């Protein structure tokens, strides 16, 4: 039976090759397709017949498809039937599940953040709960993907989870509840930062994002009458093109060009204009962007910049100016294929010129000046292509020390927040909560209890120097100096805690607020000490500076200013 199934696959491939050949006798491209499909089929047949071990046809074909598509661009991908639920979530923000984020914890996984109002939270699961079993099956050693698939399912279907909770006293218990349709809001939070300044955070451009932003602004204006608004697109990876138009339309008047798409199929080329009357075209506006702001986020921020509708603040955005279209394939699979590039109102494309040489976070790397072209906004300001949206006002993001990075990576911040939250019933609202000094002292003691250790960057460099010196036979000559340096750099946790107290306290406050007030609480706590927010408010309150930035006299930062 297995052999028959394999041969049927080969037969289908052969048929595809035959008809491609028949339809393209007079076309060299079609001939090349047919020829290479035939080669692929014969290669596969020989592998199946003669390879020393049994082969998995499905796995082998998927690997070959993935590798083939990766030579084109990072966004043209094959979506097998088994991954359709993930695809639907990316486009709609909906899935059937328990409503919680999970993360790795040793050999198991744990709840990192339950969504407020969904099954996990309503059944009593908390951040820090370690998942031991799902429906009676141990998940020890499972990957996040494997556990995620077990937790997802049809709405109203039941799932049983065995959990270990560490604090206030270790206990193991089981919860059983029904999955439900999970719809994650595109706007997780909006509110007033002060009497004059509103704030809206947009996390993704899933279906309905434009309406969510519209309703958020209407509610703010009805209740508080803000004079200005901060629109936060940091970390927003994009989503649906039509929702980018809808979101831009909240701030930009009807009939304005927002984006044009151009590709191989000329009949698909389109110009997208704002379809409706805007909610507010006069409110002073600052849009926050960063390296994680991509695709639809760049359409919105780029059109606002090109039309001089608001000030863009932050760091250069990701640089994804490609449009993907989903095409149906056989056996309920799909191909998400790049079909066009998009161009914002000034005529520039923000696609990074080089797919491969990006920064570690995936954002645009250095672009040679010779490859950068100038464009003009509605007011005559100079803007550039070459990759991403360069903000009108560049803000240098804070950089954490190796000590703080170690606290985060080794879950010390997360685990202490779990412990702290088990000791108190309530905390003040996020905009009022500050971690008491006594609790910061408890954090130091907590690090002792979990045997926390770390290596500073200086220590890492010194260890590398020692290895190199030994390899090159110089170590004996500098042994005493290296030994003394090691002593001088010996871990002094209290010194590092004192030196980094402000940053550590802020991270702890955010994590603790998320335990009591969930995602909204995390955002509100972060806003308390967000330097970009403070800079944005200062610009919005200074009408002279705000208007100058949007005038033709303003000189924007250079494209590569943030490369260092």
Q: How many CB atoms lie within 10 A of CB 65?
A: 15
Q: How many CA atoms lie within 13 A of 147 on its CB side?
A: 27
- Using CA atoms, how far apart are residues 198 and 286, in angstroms rounded to an integer? 10
* Helices 241-249 and 209-224, axial angle in degrees (round to 10): 20
Q: For residue 155, give the H/E element and its range.
A: none
- CB neighbours of 397 closer than 8 A, spacing ≥ 6? 290, 315, 532
Q: Which residues pair with 198 in a beta bridge?
A: 192, 229
Q: What is the dihedral of CA 432, 438, 441, 445, to 10 degrees?
A: -110
- Which tokens hold the place of 426? 């309530």
- Using CA atoms, how far apart are residues 266 and 261, in angstroms rounded to an integer? 10
Q: How many CA atoms lie within 13 A of 56 on its CB side?
A: 6
pLDDT attached to residue 20: 46
Give the residue from 201, 197, 175, 198 showing the smallest Cα distance to 188: 201
Burial 381-411 (b: 16+ CB within 10 A, else e): bebbbbbbbbbbbbbeeeeeeebbebbeeeb
- Using CA atoms, how far apart are residues 243 and 205, in angstroms rounded to an integer? 6
- Which tokens hold the place of 65? 């498809």
pLDDT attached to residue 7: 47
- Using CA atoms, how far apart are residues 465 and 141, in angstroms rounded to an integer? 37
The label of the residue with tokens 């595109």 reads 186
pLDDT attached to residue 563: 46
The label of the residue with tokens 């020390």 reads 401
pLDDT attached to residue 490: 67
pLDDT attached to residue 1: 44
| 299, 251 Cβ separation under 8 angstroms | no
Backbone angles phi, psi at 125, to 5 degrees: -70, 145
Q: For residue 403, give the H/E element and its range.
A: helix 402-409
pLDDT attached to residue 90: 60
| 171, 113 Cβ separation under 8 angstroms | no
Which of the residues in the chain have pLDDT under 50? Answer: 1, 3-5, 7-8, 10-11, 14-15, 17-25, 563-564
Give the residue from 378, 375, 446 showing the smallest Cα distance to 412: 446
When the pLDDT of each residue in the chain is averaged and rounded to a whole number, the result is: 88
- Using CA atoms, how far apart are residues 198 and 230, in angstroms rounded to an integer? 6
Query: In this structure, is the dihedral angle defined by the CA atoms of residues 241, 243, 245 and 248, taken in order, positive or negative?
Result: negative
Distance of CA 33 to the CA centre of its chain: 37
- Using CA atoms, how far apart are residues 503 and 522, in angstroms rounded to an integer? 15
- Using CA atoms, how far apart are residues 285 and 272, in angstroms rounded to an integer? 22
pLDDT attached to residue 266: 87
Q: What is the pTM of this model?
A: 0.85
């Amino acid at each position: 039976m297995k052999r028959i199934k394999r041969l049927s696959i080969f037969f289908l491939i052969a048929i595809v090759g035959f008809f491609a050949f028949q339809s393209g006798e007079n076309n060299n491209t079609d001939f090349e397709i047919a020829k290479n499909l035939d080669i692929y089929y014969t290669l596969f047949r020989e592998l199946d017949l003669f390879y020393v071990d049994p082969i998995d046809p499905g796995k082998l074909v998927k690997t070959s498809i993935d590798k083939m598509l990766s030579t084109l661009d990072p966004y043209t991908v094959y979506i097998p039937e088994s991954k359709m639920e993930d695809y639907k979530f990316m486009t709609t923000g909906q899935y059937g599940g328990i409503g919680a984020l999970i993360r790795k914890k040793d050999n198991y996984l744990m709840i990192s953040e339950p969504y407020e109002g969904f099954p996990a939270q309503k059944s009593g699961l908390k951040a820090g709960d370690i998942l031991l079993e799902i429906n009676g099956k141990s998940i020890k050693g499972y990957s996040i993907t494997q556990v995620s698939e077990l937790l997802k399912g049809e709405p109203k279907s039941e799932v049983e989870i065995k959990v270990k909770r560490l604090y206030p006293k270790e206990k193991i218990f089981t919860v059983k509840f029904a999955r439900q349709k999970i719809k994650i809001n595109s706007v997780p939070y909006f509110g007033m930062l002060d009497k004059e300044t509103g704030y809206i955070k947009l996390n993704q451009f899933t279906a309905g994002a434009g309406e969510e932003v519209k309703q958020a602004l209407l509610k703010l204006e009805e209740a508080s009458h803000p004079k200005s608004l901060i629109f936060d697109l940091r970390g927003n990876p994009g989503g649906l093109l039509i929702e980018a138009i809808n979101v831009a339309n909240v701030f930009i008047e009807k009939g304005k060009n927002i984006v044009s798409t151009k590709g191989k199929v000329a009949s698909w080329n389109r110009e997208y204009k704002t379809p409706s009357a805007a909610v507010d075209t006069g409110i002073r506006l600052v849009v926050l962007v960063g390296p994680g702001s991509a695709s639809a986020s760049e359409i919105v921020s780029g059109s606002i910049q090109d039309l001089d509708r608001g000030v863009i603040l932050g760091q250069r955005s990701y640089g994804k100016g490609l449009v993907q279209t989903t095409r149906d394939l056989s056996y309920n699979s799909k191909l998400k294929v790049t079909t066009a590039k998009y161009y914002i109102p000034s005529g520039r494309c923000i696609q990074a010129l080089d797919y491969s040489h990006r920064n570690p976070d995936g954002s645009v790397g250095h672009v040679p000046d010779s490859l950068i072209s100038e464009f003009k906004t509605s007011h005559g300001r100079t803007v550039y292509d070459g990759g991403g949206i360069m903000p009108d006002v560049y803000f240098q993001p804070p950089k954490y020390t190796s000590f703080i990075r170690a606290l985060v990576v080794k879950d010390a911040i997360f685990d202490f927040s779990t412990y702290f939250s088990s000791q108190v019933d309530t905390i003040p609202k996020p905009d009022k909560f500050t971690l008491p000094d006594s609790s910061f002292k408890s954090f130091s003691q907590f690090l002792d209890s979990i045997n926390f250790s770390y290596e500073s960057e200086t220590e890492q460099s010194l260890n590398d120097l020692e290895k190199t010196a030994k390899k090159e036979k110089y170590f004996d000559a500098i042994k005493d100096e290296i030994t003394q340096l090691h002593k001088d750099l010996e871990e002094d946790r209290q010194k590092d805690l004192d030196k980094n107290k402000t940053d550590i306290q802020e991270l702890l406050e955010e994590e603790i607020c998320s335990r009591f007030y969930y995602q909204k609480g995390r955002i509100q706590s972060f806003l308390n000490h967000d330097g970009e927010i403070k800079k944005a408010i200062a610009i919005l309150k200074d009408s002279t500076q705000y208007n100058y930035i949007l005038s033709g006299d303003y000189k924007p930062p250079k494209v590569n200013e943030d490369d260092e």
